[in-house]
Structure 1
């Protein structure tokens, strides 16, 4: 629901400014790998386009997402970006790019086959030597759940109290659950909505193995996100399997 009928809350749940610190490091990394110039980049699973919005001044951007509601939000924030609706596991645009990015949407890959297909999509849109950057929120090896996050934010239309609970009900599989509660105060009335997402949770070696199987030489790079260390996996396409 967060990406459909509750998509209008997204700007309060994850404001654009929350992405500034991390996006600056993605920009530095892209410049390091691609060099100067207005290179062509593709983001798969762009969502509302918050991270991408910090890159569009420097790069010619194209983006995809499975949700039409999120693409509408992205269009408002990034009017110059070419947008396409589609699933990162099988979309093919028939074009090549200098770099492919998958930000936090990668968490919705629930199986090893899902990851394999997403990485194949990235490879299909790159020439040899092209760059692929992604990074999961959690690895199974290091997930110390359950975890709880909550805050209250408001805009001119409403006040939102947001509660997020992340847990791993079955440590033997490749998924975890994130449960959201939205307490929405609008026009003097309070209503409560909820949403439940199943996301992927894989051992770190599986990520690297599957990227390598897709033809990427993998380089882990540490950045900070929200003041905390966060690992990105940077792939250079050596060959298309």
Structure 2
């Protein structure tokens, strides 16, 4: 996050509720596409992976543990037998601006190395086979933000390394106002989460998501908390053009994971030293 950015309440004071809002068992099918993309681009074998904006690490968990049995729990950890039986499939380093979300990620993925940082500016001075950014890319609200994040990815990739990203929305696929809600009666206090997504101004590149958290007290009272998120939305062509400008050979892969049936795409960028050299030459010439 930048110096002027304010962290959303979901990732700070309500971070302990993350497993109730978004449990790792919801990500099993998504992770299949990420694992397939990694294998297709880099082959079989153990990889060094950097995930930027890892959040609670739900998607990452299924990349590291393909045999996860999806044990449902009210905390961030996974209590499945595979956690005692299987080694994680890859060596992973993660970055996130929220220490509390990193704590959730660590409980779910205990072997990962962690760093607090902003995906636009962080520099670890290491090279990786792959850089992953799940839906955290939605928090990039300008083309400059996207460009800075792509520079971070390029800085951390070896020659031939791969960047994979997954925006929730593209301008072409945004269906309009959305509403989602869930109830957890198996925790105390009983917890309800409601998510309302809409586009206040179709002429800009921003969406608003309003999260409502309702806590039912032992006396029957209801405490209501509100958390507003502003995220970015861009055409698919913009993403691909910015990736190419940053030195990646960009393409899309089908990503049919959305419950509403809308089209989804993974953004995949391959980094090659020769391409990167040509990019530097173009910048120097300018």
Give TM class, smaller chain. Answer: over 0.9
Which structure 1 residue ranges, 4+ long, deviate > 4 Å from structure 2? none
- Asked whether the equivalents of residues 165 and 179 of structure 1 are also in contact (C-alpha less than 8 Å), the reply is yes
Q: Which of 1 and 2 has greater Rg?
A: 2
- Asked whether the equivalents of residues 163 and 181 of structure 1 are also in contact (C-alpha less than 8 Å), the reply is yes
Q: Tell me how many residue pairs correspond in the alignment.
A: 241
Tell whether 2:264 aligns with 1:230: yes
Q: Any residues of structure 2 matched to 1:117-156 within 5 Å, and which?
A: 117-156=148-187
- Asked whether the equivalents of residues 40 and 99 of structure 1 are also in contact (C-alpha less than 8 Å), the reply is yes
Secondary structure at the aligned position of 2:11 is classed as coil
- Asked whether the equivalents of residues 258 and 264 of structure 2 are also in contact (C-alpha less than 8 Å), the reply is no
Select 2:107's aligned residue among 76, 85, 110.
76
Deviates further, 140-149 or 182-191: 182-191
- Structure 1 residue runs without a partner (length 5+): none
Secondary structure at the aligned position of 2:147 is classed as helix
- Structure 2 residue runs without a partner (length 5+): 1-8, 65-87, 280-286
More strand by share: 1
Normalised TM-score (structure 2):
0.81
- Asked whether the equivalents of residues 150 and 243 of structure 2 are also in contact (C-alpha less than 8 Å), the reply is yes
Secondary structure at the aligned position of 2:92 is classed as strand
Distance in 1 between residues matched to 2:239 and 2:212, nearest whole Å? 30
Distance in 1 between residues matched to 2:160 and 2:186, nearest whole Å? 44
Q: CA deviation at 1:202?
A: 0.9
Equivalent residue number for residue 84 of structure 2: none
Q: CA deviation at 1:226?
A: 4.5
- Asked whether the equivalents of residues 22 and 225 of structure 1 are also in contact (C-alpha less than 8 Å), the reply is yes
More helix by share: 2
Q: Deviations over 1:98-137 (max 9, x none)?
A: 0000001000001010011111111111122111000211
